[in-house]
């Protein structure tokens, strides 16, 4: 019986499906299998992966939810890893490569921008391969972990030494960083369009996040019609009333937020009022009060000079009619994130109390217009969107991507965010590890050499692990060359030979399949992403090496009565001693 098992045989038993597994080999094999699926997506010549999560032919008929095929075609490591049905207990550890776990559907678009995921997974698998051989030779996992930590210190120091600061004024280098971040995902053959767009966004807002850099897609038009808007786009919002104007130029913008009050509505009797038991309420008096309040709010809006009103909640009929009468464009039902983006773009202050509207709360836009968005099949009306542009020094900008939708739109959105985040990181925005590095496996070859040189400083078996860490790192250029259809062994040897003469910027470029100065070729990695790649791969490898069992942790004991005391052994001893003293 398992020594960790509980008396009733439930807790501490081996996890289902792992009863005969040997650790850490079982977890290492699972991680290597996942890495094998992702390895061919590494580098500038990746191959697509088809991840099928549901097939129409295998689903039960359901009128409320018709059967359909659910699948993903992508080369992005984060997207693939996120969609893979990882049932092995090691799955959550591997998903740490993407970013923090969030409960339910609480992810916000743009909140996390994972990059370097495939490289991390490939390096992780290589580290586990080397560790497996060392363990078979009799090296204890603790020594392997110690060696890997020491090697990681050398690796991060080397990255810092090789990093070159990036100035956004150097457009050529900045766009090269953006292109390299999107390499292998040249959607529409417009890489030279997407890279400047990403750099322009970073120049304006700095580090891109969910609020400062929005991306919207539309089916109409072509990819070449895509552009960066110095403002924001409300892609599911049109006029609140057809009597309102469709556009406003040199527009003053009022933004109304607030939970439950973020709109132009009258107070609710149930929510906003209470009466004494002995009091009488005159409904006509309340109606008169509401009319007076409404007139005051409209007067405040008009006298403030607002041309456009954006509301978090709804707009009641009387308010819509009054806004239309004063030639004010009203947009209702704008979600919280888009409302924040509009406020940042226009410089408006979000007003949470409609009885306190002042001119200084307003923002400004060169033009606000309601435009046709995407035609909807079998619908008479075309969906509308509101474009807010021409903002002076906007704190939020929007990339409007035309001619794309569904998975194509999602993939382009991911790549643009990665490109912008790479440029911002290289420029030192919100990271202490700014700068760019020579790509194409060049920096990895330098790291491997310096780690080998440092191995002799370890006086224990950890020295073997440090040397194996260097071997694992060289699997990155090896895999890039392999995916390009080249001779991976020869490529790694050629990079070593060039760098032995002091040419540390020499790496592999594809699809030309040459070993050359990758900085001159514009193949650049970013310091902060490369550092994160090494750190995450090493941390997860050491976590896996430290696991020696997988146990079931489901408690199936009968619940105690409410008045029953529950003590651990120490508490029982204390209670027994107290009774003896008495």
Q: Which residues contact 572 (CB under 8 A, 6 or more apart)?
A: none
Other beta carbons less than 10 A from residue 18's beta carbon = 17
pLDDT of 105 > 70? The answer is no
pLDDT tens digits, 178-223? 999 887 666 667 888 899 999 999 999 999 999 999 999 888 888 8
Q: Which of the residue ranges 62-66, 386-390, 458-462, 574-578 has the most confident prediction, judged by mean pLDDT?
A: 386-390
> What's the pLDDT score for residue 28?
77
- Give me the residue spans of the domains in the chain: 1-13+550-582, 25-116, 246-387
Q: How far is the C-alpha of 178 from the C-alpha of 185, rounded, in Å?
A: 12
Q: Which residues contact 78 (CB under 8 A, 6 or more apart)?
A: 97, 98, 99, 114, 115, 117, 414
Q: How much of the chain, in percent, has pLDDT values that exceed 70? A: 72
Largest CA distance in the chain: 95
Decide if 293 contacts 308 (C-beta within 8 A).
no
Q: Look up tokens 């009468």; give the residue.
A: 325
How would residue 233 be classed by pLDDT, with cut points 50, 70 and 90?
Answer: very high
pLDDT tens digits, 465-501? 999 999 999 999 999 999 899 999 999 999 999 999 9
Q: Which residues contact 419 (CB under 8 A, 6 or more apart)?
A: 178, 179, 181, 182, 194, 195, 198
Q: CA distances (Å), 216 to each of 320, 391, 410, in order?
A: 27, 18, 10
Decide if 448 contacts 474 (C-beta within 8 A).
yes
Q: How far is the C-alpha of 416 from the C-alpha of 197, rounded, in Å?
A: 8
Mean pLDDT of 257-261: 70
> What's the pLDDT score for residue 31?
77
Mean pLDDT of 344-368: 95
How would residue 107 be classed by pLDDT, with cut points 50, 70 and 90?
Answer: very low
Mean pLDDT of 10-27: 53
Interior/surface letters 355-378, b for 16+ CB within 10 angstroms, e for the rest:
eebeeebbbbbeebbbeebeeeee
Q: What is the CATH number of domain 246-387?
A: 3.50.7.10
Q: Is 96 exposed, middle or buried (0-12, 13-18, 19+ CB in 10 A)?
A: middle
> What's the pLDDT score for residue 383?
79
213's enclosing H/E stretch is: strand 213-218
pTM of the model: 0.80
> What's the pLDDT score for residue 325?
95
Mean pLDDT of 561-567: 50
Q: How much of the chain, in percent, has pLDDT values that exceed 90? A: 52
For domain 25-116, give the fold.
Answer: GROEL; domain 1 (1.10.560)
Tokens of 446: 């330098």
> What's the pLDDT score for residue 1?
39
> What's the pLDDT score for residue 11?
46
Q: How far is the C-alpha of 209 from the C-alpha of 111, rounded, in Å?
A: 6
Decide if 384 contacts 238 (C-beta within 8 A).
yes
Q: CA distances (Å), 174 to each of 189, 196, 205, 210, 433, in order?
A: 19, 9, 15, 22, 16
Q: How far is the C-alpha of 409 from the C-alpha of 417, rounded, in Å?
A: 12
How many CA within 13 A on the CB side of residue 45? 16
> What's the pLDDT score for residue 37?
76
Task: Of 2-11, 99-108, 385-394, give the lowest mean pLDDT range.
Answer: 99-108
Decide if 507 contacts 441 (C-beta within 8 A).
yes
> What's the pLDDT score for residue 88?
61
């Amino acid at each position: 019986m398992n020594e960790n098992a509980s008396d009733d045989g439930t807790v501490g038993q081996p996890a289902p499906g792992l009863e005969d597994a040997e650790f850490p080999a079982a977890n290492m094999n699972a991680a290597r299998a996942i890495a094998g699926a992702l390895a061919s997506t590494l580098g500038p010549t990746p191959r697509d992966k088809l991840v099928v999560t549901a097939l129409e032919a295998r689903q039960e008929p359901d009128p409320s939810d018709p059967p359909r095929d659910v699948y993903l075609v992508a080369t992005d490591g984060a997207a693939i890893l996120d969609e893979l049905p990882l049932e092995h207990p090691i799955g959550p550890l591997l998903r740490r490569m993407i970013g923090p776990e969030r409960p339910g559907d609480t992810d916000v678009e743009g909140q996390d921008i994972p990059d370097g995921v495939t490289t991390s997974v490939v390096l992780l698998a290589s580290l586990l391969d080397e560790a497996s051989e060392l363990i078979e030779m009799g090296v204890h996992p603790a020594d392997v972990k110690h060696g890997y930590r020491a090697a990681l210190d050398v690796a991060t120091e080397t990255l810092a030494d090789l990093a070159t600061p990036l100035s956004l004024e150097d457009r050529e280098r900045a766009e090269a960083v953006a292109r390299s971040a999107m390499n292998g995902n040249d959607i529409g053959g417009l890489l030279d369009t997407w890279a400047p767009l990403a750099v322009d966004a970073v120049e304006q807002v700095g580090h891109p996040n969910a609020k400062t850099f929005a991306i919207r897609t539309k089916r109409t038009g072509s990819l070449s019609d895509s552009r960066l808007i110095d403002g924001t786009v409300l892609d599911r919002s049109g006029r609140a009333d057809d009597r309102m104007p469709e556009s406003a130029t040199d527009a003053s913008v009022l933004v109304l937020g607030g939970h439950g009050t973020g709109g132009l509505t009258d107070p609710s009797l149930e929510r906003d009022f209470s009466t004494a038991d002995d009091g009488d309420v005159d409904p006509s008096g309340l109606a008169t009060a509401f009319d007076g309040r409404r007139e005051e709010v409209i007067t405040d809006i008009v006298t403030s000079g607002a041309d456009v009103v954006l509301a978090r909640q709804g707009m009641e009929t009387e308010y819509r009619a009054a806004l239309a009468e004063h030639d004010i464009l009203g947009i209702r039902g704008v979600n919280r994130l888009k409302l924040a983006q509009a406020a940042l773009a226009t410089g408006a202050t979000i007003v949470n109390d409609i009885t306190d509207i002042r001119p200084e709360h307003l923002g400004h836009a060169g033009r606000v217009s309601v435009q046709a968005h995407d035609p909807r099949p079998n619908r008479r009306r075309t969906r509308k969107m509101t474009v807010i542009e021409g903002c002076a020094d906007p704190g939020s900008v929007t990339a409007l991507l035309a001619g794309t939708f569904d998975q194509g739109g999602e993939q382009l959105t991911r790549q643009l965010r990665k490109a912008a985040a790479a440029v911002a990181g290289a420029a030192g925005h919100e990271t202490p590890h700014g700068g760019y590095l020579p790509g194409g496996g060049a920096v990895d070859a330098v790291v491997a050499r310096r780690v080998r040189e440092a191995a002799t400083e370890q006086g224990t078996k950890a020295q073997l692990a440090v040397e194996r860490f260097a071997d694992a790192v060289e699997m990155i250029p090896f895999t890039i060359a392999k995916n390009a259809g080249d001779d991976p062994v020869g490529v790694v040897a050629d990079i070593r030979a060039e760098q032995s003469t002091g040419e540390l910027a020499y790496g592999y470029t594809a699809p030309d399949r040459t070993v050359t100065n990758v900085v001159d070729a514009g193949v650049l990695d970013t310091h902060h992403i490369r550092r994160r790649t090494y750190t995450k791969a090493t941390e997860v490898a050491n976590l896996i090496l430290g696991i020696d069992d997988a146990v079931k942790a489901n408690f199936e004991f009968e619940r105690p009565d409410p008045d029953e005391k529950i003590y651990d052994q120490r508490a029982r001893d204390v209670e027994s001693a107290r009774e003896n003293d008495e």
